[in-house]
Amino acid sequence: MDRASGAVLHISSIPNEYGIGSFGQSDFDFVDFLVDTKQTYWQMLPLRLLMFR
């Protein structure tokens, strides 16, 4: 098995012109950064609540 690397980062944690939490150009820039640095994986955390009480 070949070695691989990546990042664990919630997509809404990426800073942008509105603070954090919105999906915008900085998210695409982050993906471009992952490609440029030859990262293999981006583990995204859940985008919604997992359960309600």
pLDDT of residue 16: 80
Would the pTM of this model clear 0.75, i.e. be above it?
no
41 membership: H or E segment, kind and range = strand 41-43
User: What's the distance, Cα to Cα, between the start and end of the chain in Å?
Assistant: 42
In angstroms, the CA 1 to CA 18 distance is: 41
pLDDT of residue 1: 76
Cβ partners under 8 Å of residue 23, min gap 6: 11, 12
pLDDT of residue 37: 93
pLDDT tens string 20-39: 767 788 888 988 999 999 99
In angstroms, the CA 45 to CA 25 distance is: 19
